[in-house]
Chain A
Amino acid sequence: MSKRKPYQREMNNDWWLKNAFYSKYMIREGSSILITLYSLILAWGVFRLSQGEEAFNAWLSALQHPISIIFHLLVLLIALYHTITWFSLAPKAVDLYIKGKPLDAKFIVAGHYISFIIVTIFCLVVIML
């Protein structure tokens, strides 16, 4: 055992509440909790689907409960927040070069938003086929 006692700066658990930038960071990380719950609802839906028509319809009607509607509205908002943060980080991950020149971050972000809109419309059309 080392006898050394290094100084450890005190760090309270509310550090992220004192600075708007850190708060936004924590909201982004916190989006994970609601999205996890949403995935679990879907996983449960697959389970109910495997049990037959009656069970699946019970799952569908449970989704009509006001609490479920409010919950999904919250998930939608926080998922959109995740989308915005993810796209704003995209230029750092993509880092495209055209003829030796870096592609402007604006185009990469815009490309993501355009794809997002196309994907969303595509999914809405597919589900209604």
Chain B
Amino acid sequence: MNAQQTTTNQLPEKKYIRSHEPIFWGLFGAGGMLTAFLTPVMVLVTGLLIPLGLIDAEHLSYEKLHQFVSSWYGAPIVLVLVALPLWHTLHRIFHSLHDLGIKRGRDWQQVICYGFAFAVSVFVFTLLLQMLSL
């Protein structure tokens, strides 16, 4: 017992380095949830039903969509629907690069992957802000 106590007294306090992973993992999880629940129906509507004319294109007309997107509630919804899946997919792509054995420039791979999601988010955010009418 005594020996153990002396060793613990001598140990310097451990310094913890905070990781930024929880932020990206949180966005990854939220994006994955959204992708799982909403992406199939979104693809079905915008990519198949409307282009094929199975749903009248009037339902996604410029007037209707612009009105929705420029409202205070429509803008954040569109931002989340468009940008959040990217934080999910680019997190996965970043980790898949490791799985495929691409070892060079891991830190730059991370900057490019999350930076891409960030850039598109800012792009959409700016456009929505520009269209917003309160």
Contact = CB atoms under 8 A, between A and B. Distances in A.
A and B from one complex: yes
Query: Which one of B32, B69, B95 has the greatest number of beta carbons of chain A within 10 Å?
Result: B32
Majority secondary structure of chain B interface residues (helix, strand, loop or mixed): helix
B29 to A, nearest CB: 8
Interface in A4-39: 11-13, 16, 26, 29-30, 32-33, 35-36, 38-39
A42 B45 CA distance: 12
B96 to A, nearest CB: 5
B37 A46 contact: no
Majority secondary structure of chain A interface residues (helix, strand, loop or mixed): helix
Interface of B: 32-33, 35-48, 50-52, 55, 57, 59-60, 62-63, 65-66, 69, 78, 81-83, 85-86, 88-90, 92-93, 95-96, 99-101, 120, 123-124, 127-128, 130-131
Interface residues of A, number: 51
Contact of A63 (B37, B50, B86, B95): B50
A31 to B, nearest CB: 8
